Structure 1
């Protein structure tokens, strides 16, 4: 029985996708729910798995081709592969892998693509995958492995010699996600009246509170660690209640005021920046905020975030401080009208009641769309967050 393998159903905001990587090739046996192909969209990489045990018969859409929602991309033959045929096929494949490495054809498509990008000679690698297949991890490890002895790798002498001072260039196509990020950034720069206001906040009170209760907090909340993001998210929620324009969005000639706070949190991945959304944050505890953000970070790195989790949001927070940024001007995430930027905590001499003290200080930045938010509201919004972080009891008491 043959089954059509179709692309996933894309949300209305996603027009099409691109075949990123085929993890199985025609003729290969596939187990039920085993990953077959990755589909890259503007926002996320979607995985397509096998509907049953069987064999991938035919690939209709190759890597790099554009596909539509629910379009047929492959043909799948349901049913277990003959038991006697599997060992027979494995033997010559293993021999080919051991004798010739990847001399060209016994490597996964993703491994071939990565090898071309890194300039790795596949014929020098020994595969660790099924039936000796060279995997993407084998190619990645090749860059860090120690070079083999000349006697053990006679083909090494055939590698091209790079002349000292040679100017090497490599051209690779943008991924769909990177192109979409670029488009949105340009849309923001050209379509909004973006300004940024700055302030600095004394982090000593929050750091003292965190130091005092972090162990007890972790025990009481099943291993959830107490970080700084929970305080900033809850402070932002209270500030958004006081300044509804900062939580609003522009839709054509209308202003949409949101009666809830859905906060997008910027998460960096190898493929680009994603902004999953904490929904109804006004009803979440600090522990729930911290645990959800941690879960977002783990699944973002693994490419497991869903479209729904990255859609919406009424306000954004980004933390460049984790990478060492001292100050920046974050870019608004449309159709939102403001974004809060956090930065590194640095000890600096500050004047306190006529005395100079060394305090842990952080610069805060609020970028906002001046078409909707006046400078006065933007500054007062940022000061409200500063006041709550410098006196965390205000967050609990909503002062």
Structure 2
């Protein structure tokens, strides 16, 4: 007896979905209500639970297929099932005899034999091979670019240890190891474009680093090295990569490594600013601008007049845009093309907020375990203003205006990979302490490249702080489909007329960019005035006034 697996009801107005990831393979044992697959719609990502316990007998709809509500996507049969990735059906996988024959026909070489077949026949293998695939990166994300690969074939990895980094059009994320063992095969190189579900590498579960792989050499024969090595890179950066790995440092980013080789620089001449001391392209350019000396290498002596002048140095460099940068560019331009965007300005006297922060910052940090910054005050002030002027918290959906009765506030954060906007969800329900804690968590995740797609979805309003870089005034661009974004700027002392007297005050310019299709000028100005009032009299935030 078989049980059908069908696409569940996905909510109002949602009639179809895309198969994101299958968590099980044909032949796998499944329990009732266990997650089988992930469905992606234009609104949410949902998991499909098993309607009954048994064995996954058939997969009807594959990853990437578009299916309607109620459509058949798989079948569950009776039985205990086999191990992961195996099947009871003889047509799904070749028998052991067939594998042995294939191995003998290949004369011990790689030939047409699969990597998993080799591992099963290798005398040194101690466990089964586990595939590491491209994970689902969330709604509407179907492909990614392989960034830095942290491990090589033959390396031992622990469960949940970072294996490599993937860049999507939304974020950069690390892929953790699903098991502890030894890497036997790398299926990708740095810079490769990969689809969700594609094979990245294979790990022999339970193996130790000293055990030999299928070729008897301790590593897999199907190792694909990073592209820089494929082109014969043998400069100073390449010579240092193994030393850096031994020291626990990440190798230079591919673009940085290429530039280091062109400028004849070694890794110890460049100070890395990336995670775990990784050298980024900007670090190399900075080292070059400081006049870092070239590595000493044996070269034929040449007359001084033959030395190249600065005019002979390359004046431009072509670097492929990352998916994240491409998406940033498209979305920002789309916001300009779509919205009727205007910006209104005001200024706020930060005296009262700064005095309150100074008075309570030590007690605040002692009690809550986090420093008291300005973002907590600004976020609360914004939430108060959004409740009074709901149009700034709304968005256009076709011919409708959707008003949000909650405040998911996005915080624009600049990283070495580009601009990301993590979201503090239900900020209007949080205290200042809770906002500061959540902001700290999101900022750290952004710097470490560990932001999940869910961390950046659903924002209703955005705050961007150009003041941390010294900006005095700006006109921020809307984060579509939102209708408002607040720009914070540098706090600067200026002479101000106060009660008929000239006094020096810490002032900040505020800028509100808004979509004039939804928000009228009166509403935009009133919103900004309410933010100003809350910051100049922060007791209003405490008393909810």
The 1:366/1:101 distance shift into structure 2, 3 A limit, reads closer
Distance 1:379 1:23, change over 3 A: same
Q: Give the Å deviation of 1:285.
A: 0.8
- Matched with 2:479 is 333
Query: Does structure 2 conserve the Cα–Cα contact (< 8 Å) formed by 1:114 and 1:136?
Result: no
After TM superposition, give the deviation of residue 61 of structure 1 in Å: 3.0
Which range moved further: 190-199 or 276-285?
A: 276-285
Structure 2 residues without counterparts, runs of 5 or longer: 1-127, 220-233, 243-250, 269-276
Residue of structure 2 in register with 1:182 after alignment: 329
The counterpart of 1:47, out of the listed 164, 167, 174, is: 174
Aligned partners of 1:115 and 1:121 also within 8 Å:
no
Does 1:192 find its partner at 2:319?
A: no
Is 1:319–2:465 an aligned residue pair?
yes
* Counterpart residue number, 2:357: 210
Which residue matches 1:236?
382
Within the candidate set 46, 58, 65, 2:192 is matched to: 65
Q: Report the equivalent of 2:256.
A: 114
Shift in CA distance, 374/55, structure 1 to aligned 2, threshold 3 Å: same
Matched with 1:130 is: none
Please give the residue correspondences for 1:265-276 in structure 2 after superposition, counting only pairs within 5 Å: 265-276=411-422
Structure showing greater relative contact order (alpha-carbon pairs closer than 8 Å, 6 or more residues apart): 1
**TM-score normalised by length of structure 1:** 0.85
**Residue in structure 2 matched with residue 170 of structure 1 by the alignment:** 317
Give the C-alpha shift of residue 271 in structure 1.
0.7
Q: What is the aligned counterpart of 1:372 among 469, 494, 518?
A: 518
Q: Could you say which residue in structure 1 is the equivalent of 2:537?
A: 391
Cα distance change on mapping 1:156 and 1:320 into 2, 3 Å: farther
- Comparing 304-313 with 71-80, greater Cα deviation is found at 71-80
1:382 maps to which residue? 528
Question: Could you tell me how far apart the structure 1 residues matched to 2:203 and 2:362 are?
Answer: 52
1:336-380 C-alpha deviation (Å, 9 max, x unpaired): 100000101111111122221111111000000000000000000
Q: Is the 8 A contact 1:20 1:63 kept in 2?
A: yes
Partner Cα distance (2:172, 2:536) in 1: 40
Q: Which one of the candidate residues 493, 505, 517 is aligned to 1:347?
A: 493
Cα deviation, residue 12, structure 1: 1.9
Write the distance in 2 (CA, Å) between the matches of 1:22 and 1:6: 14
Residues in 2 aligned to 1:203 and 1:382: alpha-carbon distance in whole angstroms = 15
Change (3 A) 1:173 1:392: same
Flag structure 1 segments of 5+ consecutive residues without an equivalent.
91-99, 127-134
Is the aligned partner of 1:154 residue 2:298?
yes
Q: Secondary structure at the match of 2:311?
A: coil
CA contact (8 A) 1:18 1:41 kept: yes
Query: Structure 1's 240 and 102: CA in aligned 2 closer, same or farther, altered over 3 A?
Result: same
1:189-219, Cα deviation, whole Å (9 max, x unpaired): 1011000000011111111111222122222
Measure how far apart 1:62 and its partner are.
2.8
Deviates more, 1:115-124 or 1:254-263: 115-124
Aligned residues of 1:22 and 1:110 also touching (Cα < 8 A): no
Instruction: Write out aligned runs for 1:89-100 (5 A).
Output: none
Contact 2:235-2:261 within 8 A present in 1 as well: no
Structure 2 counterpart SS, 1:61? coil
Distance 1:261 1:161, change over 3 A: farther
More helix per residue: 1
Per-residue deviation at 1:146? 7.2
SS of 2:514's partner is strand
Deviations 1:120-161 (A, max 9, x none): 6789669xxxxxxxx9559969959975996xx535979x95
1:305 aligns with 2:451: yes
**Counterpart in the other structure of 1:95:** none
TM-score (norm 2): 0.63
User: Matched residue of 2:310: which SS?
Assistant: coil
Instruction: Please state how far the C-alpha of 1:25 moved relative to its aligned partner.
Output: 3.1
1:104 and 1:122 in contact (8 A); partners too: no
Look up the SS of the partner of 1:154 in the other structure.
coil
Structure-1 separation of matches of 2:518 and 2:193: 38
SS of alignment partner, residue 165 of structure 1: helix
Secondary structure in structure 1 of the residue aligned to 2:513: strand
Residues 157, 245 of structure 1: alpha-carbon distance in 2 compared, 3 angstrom cutoff: farther
Cα distance in structure 1, aligned partners of 2:266 and 2:191: 27
**The structure with more radius of gyration:** 2
Contact conserved, 2:465 with 2:489, CA < 8 A, in 1? yes
> Does the Cα contact within 8 Å between 2:344 and 2:513 map onto a contact in 1?
yes
1:23-47 per-residue CA deviation (whole Å, 9 max, x = no partner) reads 2333444443332221111111122
Whole-angstrom CA distance in 1 between matches of 2:501 and 2:264:
66
Distance 1:164 1:117, change over 3 A: closer
User: What value does the CA root-mean-square deviation take over the aligned residues?
Assistant: 3.2
